[in-house]
Amino acid sequence: MVKVYIDPGHGGSDPGAVANGLREKDLTLKIAKYMRDYLLNNYTGVSVRMSRTTDKTVSLSARTNDANKWGANAYISIHINAGGGTGFETYVYPGVGKATRDLQNAIHGEVMNVFSGFRDRGKKQANFHVLRETKMSAVLTENGFIDTKKDADFLKSDANLRKIGEAHAKGVAKYFGLKKKAQPKSAQPAQKKKKKKKNVFYRVVTGSFTDRKNA
């Protein structure tokens, strides 16, 4: 069983970046839930745990401690960028091994398919707490800039948030080689053919006779 820990950035008293009528904590939670649902609905052999499923405050240490205690195989931290730029980027902890870089590559490639037309800001490294204190392969994603109108307009669409979340899930599934669930057959049972009734004829015979006996 592959254990995937999904961490929607910020929450509760910490809204994260705020601009263009959007709050980072709301967007990350929606993306994370779409990621969770896609993994559980489409793949076998996977278990998902989230640092939060509602708008509540969770410290960074509580998030990483929970993932470590659970024994997660992968930690995905979802964020929205700020600072006037544009596009998508991912982070891992400096000096990590090939396994974590491969996970970063898989997620980065799938999500950039959704951010087509936006800048690919690259695969980076940083000394973030959630990357440093986790015992498993950990990747942090920055999904567009909340304070750039083009990016914000894209993030205002729930359909786009769904695509971003599902792309995260596809990247994780690709990395772990998760098998897709068999889709139920929608074919309706064949209807029994009705037996045709044999033709039946009803005949009326009339006549005129001079002899009553013959009638």
Catalytic residue numbers? 142
Helix (H, G, I), strand (E, B) or coil at 57: coil
User: Which residues on neighbouring strands pair with residue 57, listed in sequence order?
Assistant: none
Tokens of 90: 């991912």
Distance CA 126, CA 98 (A): 16
Look at the chain and count its residues.
Answer: 215
Cβ-count burial of 126 within 10 angstroms (0-12 exposed, 13-18 middle, 19+ buried)?
Answer: exposed
φ, ψ dihedrals at 79, nearest 5°: -140, 165
